[in-house]
Amino acid sequence: MTAKMPSLDKLLAGNSAPGQRGTVWLVGAGPGAVDLLTLRALRLIEQAEIVVYDRLVGPDILALIPAGALSIDVGKTPGFHGMKQSQISQLLVDLALAGRQVVRLKGGDPFIFGRGGEEMVCLQQAGVTCHIVPGITAATGCAAASGIPLTHRDLAQSVRFVTGHGRDGKPQLDWESLRDARQTLVFYMGLTWCDALSEQLISFGRDAQTPVAIVERGTRDDQRTLIARLDQLAETVRTYQPQSPSLLIVGDVVRLYRPDLPQAAATSTLTPRASKAAIAS
């Protein structure tokens, strides 16, 4: 029978070996599918003493946490943050200073819109040893699961990962730098402000007929992919109401999406129009 893990208060009360500090691993859990975990992430989860996890970590991954480990949910939902980022960072510091071994489990990759950098700096300033374990970020995971190449030598020579949610809400971006049609744009956390995103991109020169993919619950069994034109993005979101986590992929590479892929259910409001270069390739 597995021994019951002490309460959080007892874990923070003191160190059984005074002067000995614990370690924190910032671990990327990937975009959702359990078999997209790295081997290192899997090993750390299965051996964890304490796991502090986010809302975007898939349930199948959480099921890997040992029964005797303490699991702490610090997840945020849009419009509701049960624990502020500063409090999460301080919790990691307190646990480590109490001599505990902590796995900080984050959806995607800790260093790509995962606030892993903020937590790392806080831990370093407190003198806590911190290791980073990268994960597959949502952009690459969702694109692969939908059969959408983020780059293609005839369609997109670069890709940008962009946050669709600013520090105070509405995105504040260098729109001029996002106008190049040969550049794929991937917006994280872009659903709430999708109307502003589409309006600004079009006003700064992006073709209104540029295809957009909305990938909901990417890489999971219940993934859904919606395809629309840039000028129809807000209407598509209102009609089909995709929920977080969802990713927006903007660019001509979306024309290569195949709705017959077994991984995704698709709804398209885009008139098929493959480029000559794509057909030639």
Tell me if residue 207 is catalytic: no
Handedness of CA 144, 147, 153, 157 (dihedral sign): negative
203, containing H or E segment = helix 194-203
Active site residue 54: yes
Check 4, 9, 35, 76 and give the catalytic one: 76
| 129-149 residues labelled b (16+ CB within 10 A) or e (exposed) | ebebbbbbbbbbbbbbbbebb
**Which one, of 84, 91, 87, lies nearest residue 70 by Cα?**
91
Q: What angle do CA 269, 274, 279 make, to 5 degrees?
A: 155
4, 9, 54, 207: the catalytic one is 54
Residue 253's Cβ-side half-sphere holds a number of Cα atoms within 13 Å equal to 24
184 - beta bridge partners?
Answer: 159
DSSP run (H or E) holding 46: helix 39-46
139: left (phi over 0), alpha (psi -120 to 50) or beta: alpha
Cβ-based neighbour number of residue 6 at 10 Å: 11
Residues that are catalytic: 54, 76
